[in-house]
Structure 1
Amino acid sequence: MGKIAMKKKGIFFTFIAITLMAVFLLVSTPQADISLQKDLQSVRARISSVDSFVSDLENRYLETVLRATTHKAILSLIFYMNSTGSYIPNLDSAFSEVMLTGKIGGEPIDSVTGKKIMENNTLTDWNNRIVESAKDTLNVNATIIVNNVSVFQTKPWNIDSALNINLTIKSNVAEWKRNSVITTTISIEGLHDPYFLVNTNKAYTNQVKKSSVPFNQWNITSVREHVRNGTYIQSEKAPGFLMRFTNTIANSTCCGIEAFVNPNKISPSDQRESYIDYLFWTHKFQNNCTQLYNITGLWDEFRHFKLDFDNVIKYNITAQDAVKTC
């Protein structure tokens, strides 16, 4: 009888243990699932927020930084040429150095120009701000490595720049790695033409402004306004804006621009030249007087203004307003 009683007690305690285990599983398992789901939702939200940051960084923030820094670097280089009175030997190298370090030839460009333009405004400065902001706001570690930054033109009235970077963003849940090329465009209108500055030792400054005259509607009246306002037109025979930084006076089929030289702003005003900027300072017609015409229709205001035969035709100047120089 004792053994039977002991067996009954063993069965009873086993039943109790199984029942308690079942209750424990029924109670605890849903809570574990809920906790796991919450963790997964938190991770997804974290990844989503950082992913949005990376996307904005590539598509918005860095493009804005590149555009602003490009404008400042070009402006600084123009002031530099105005201060030194010389052209830039290698624009690609100078542009990259100014963009990244605010220096040119190892010297702070602001100290040469006397203008505080690049101080705290280089790509390196802005990249450091982005890294700090990423840490402070999202608690992620950002690394931005600049591989290359360049400047070029594909249209006459704009400057393009491109920034090639390696971007790494590390959070506690994931890591993003990108090789990105950021591009932007700025207008050249309103910028000083360095070609005028260097050739006149800072005496003649001309800001780029596009002429509103259609190419087939030139006449002596519109030419007068063109000289007076210092406006520019597109010309495939002329150099582009960036080519003027290095005195590369060759034709640019995509980006060439030209303006008239105002005889009232140079000394001496009477020179044996065609008064189109790149022709004037390359002395194209200095020894070819027979191809030059005095544009006498303008001499009441712009005495000694001359053009070569091709440009007399181009600007639709008639015989009553043009007389052969010799």
Structure 2
Amino acid sequence: MAVNSRAELRKKAIFFTLSAVLIGSLFMMYFSSQDFLSFRERAERAQVRVTAVNNFAENFEKVYVPRALFALTHKSFDSITEFVVSKKVDEGVDFRIENITAVLEQSIMNGTIRNNLGVDVGLPGMEGLNISTWLDNLTNISQEQMNIIIRYNLTSIRIYQPGAWTVNVSMIMGYNLTSPGVMSIVRPQVQVSTILKLDGVEDPLISIATNRIVVRHINRSGIDLEDQGLTGMQTVIDNGLYIYQNKSAPSFLMRFEGNLSPSACCGIESLVSKEMLDTLQTELGIDPYLDKSYADYQYFADEFDPLFPGMCRRSNKESGGNLYNYTGISDDPEEADPFPFRVDEFHANIIYPYAENEEMDVGCS
């Protein structure tokens, strides 16, 4: 029995040893499989993270920053106009903008403008609104919510008009996006751009000239004036529509400066309406029905340059010293209080030659 017992014990020992080895092997297989799954999961998560950072970088460059430039430029248009008007109305200071692109660049970059004394001061409504503040806010949010660290540097901003109805804004910047433990994206120099359509934007020339008593927003005309003639012209006047006019009219950006020279690429103009003049008469108690050309930039020319010969003609057009009334507009028989609409000879002969008009000598050549 003893022998059998020892044999059984040896068998049991072998069994327990084999069992222990088997169990140990199973544990090793289990933990090995868990390590494999964790690695796979980590790999999948890392790939998701890499994709997320790449998407963020693409949106940062193509969506977030362009939208910020778009909003800041729109806001700058309004704030710069308000600054000029408030200087004149509240302080009696005739503030002139000499370089609108430089002023806009400073506004977008810092939210400031350089005043008459050469001191940079905040623009109304731009407190805390500039591209650096916006990027700093985005940096804080991205780090807190996504653990993405943004470092950036701004080099320059360029603003220009490629055509009459748009303003382009481009900014040169560099940036570094880092997701700790995942990846970094380094872009030492990129150009970020946006395009602003001018439809609905306030015309700075009219607002500044009238101290915002009259505010006209750019409303692009879709009327074929050559086809509709006098009827189309009346619609342009009544609705404050703007036409592309590159022979003598200034561009949108030039209107901030009171620069009334013609813009070959981007000139636009509207025509002064009876409603506009009636508003000026009511608010200012003056007679606005003056012997001037009613093309907007000519009518308000002396608000920007007293020496500008805008009464009857363009400074670069030797077109004579006469103004022209339009039969059917200037003397509407159904109007108890007729509207003495008139334009200079250049407009009558070149810009609106399809309407019947008659000469009126006002002796302002």
Using the size of structure 2 for normalisation, the TM-score is: 0.72
The whole-number CA distance in structure 2 between the counterparts of 1:285 and 1:73 is: 32
- Which residues of structure 1 form unaligned runs of 5+? 1-19, 111-116
Alignment match, 1:158: 166
The whole-number CA distance in structure 2 between the counterparts of 1:191 and 1:80 is: 17
- After superposing the two structures, state which structure 1 stretch, 215-224 or 158-167, moved more: 215-224
- Counterpart of 1:122 (choices 106, 127, 130) is 130
Amino acid in structure 1 at the alignment position of 2:123: I
Contact 2:149 2:179 in 1 (8 A): yes
1:64 equivalent to 2:83? Answer no
Alignment match, 1:240: 251
1:92 equivalent to 2:123? Answer no
Contact 1:272 1:289 in 2 (8 A): no
Amino acid in structure 1 at the alignment position of 2:65: L
- Which residues of structure 2 form unaligned runs of 5+? 1-20, 89-94, 115-119, 281-285, 302-307, 314-318, 332-336
Structure 1 residues 180 and 302, CA, compared in 2 at 3 Å: closer, same or farther?
farther
Structure 1 residues 108 and 154, CA, compared in 2 at 3 Å: closer, same or farther?
same
The whole-number CA distance in structure 2 between the counterparts of 1:250 and 1:289 is: 18
- Counterpart of 1:104 (choices 113, 132, 135) is 113
- Counterpart of 2:340 (choices 279, 295, 304) is 304
Amino acid in structure 1 at the alignment position of 2:178: K
Alignment match, 1:315: 352
What SS class does the counterpart of residue 322 from structure 1 fall into?
strand
Summarize deviations over 1:59-90 as a string: whole Å, max 9, x none.
22222222112111111112222223433122
Correspondence list, 1:123-138, <5 A = 123-138=131-146
Correspondence list, 1:227-266, <5 A = 227-237=237-247, 238-262=249-273, 264-265=277-278
Summarize deviations over 1:74-112 as a string: whole Å, max 9, x none.
1111222222343312222221222122221221112xx
Percentage identity across aligned positions?
23
Correspondence list, 1:1-326, <5 A = 36-85=39-88, 86-105=95-114, 106-110=120-124, 117-172=125-180, 173-178=182-187, 179-237=189-247, 238-262=249-273, 264-265=277-278, 268-280=287-299, 281=301, 282-284=308-310, 286=312, 290-300=321-331, 303-313=339-349, 314-319=351-356, 321-325=357-361
- RMSD of the TM alignment (CA)? 3.0
Amino acid in structure 1 at the alignment position of 2:51: S
State the 1:244 CA deviation: 0.8
Structure 1 residues 140 and 207, CA, compared in 2 at 3 Å: closer, same or farther?
closer
Greater RCO between the two (CA within 8 Å, min separation 6)? 1
State the 1:305 CA deviation: 2.3
Contact 1:240 1:252 in 2 (8 A): yes
State the 1:257 CA deviation: 0.2
Structure 1 residues 249 and 283, CA, compared in 2 at 3 Å: closer, same or farther?
same
The whole-number CA distance in structure 1 between the counterparts of 2:342 and 2:225 is: 20
- After superposing the two structures, state which structure 1 stretch, 93-102 or 298-307, moved more: 298-307
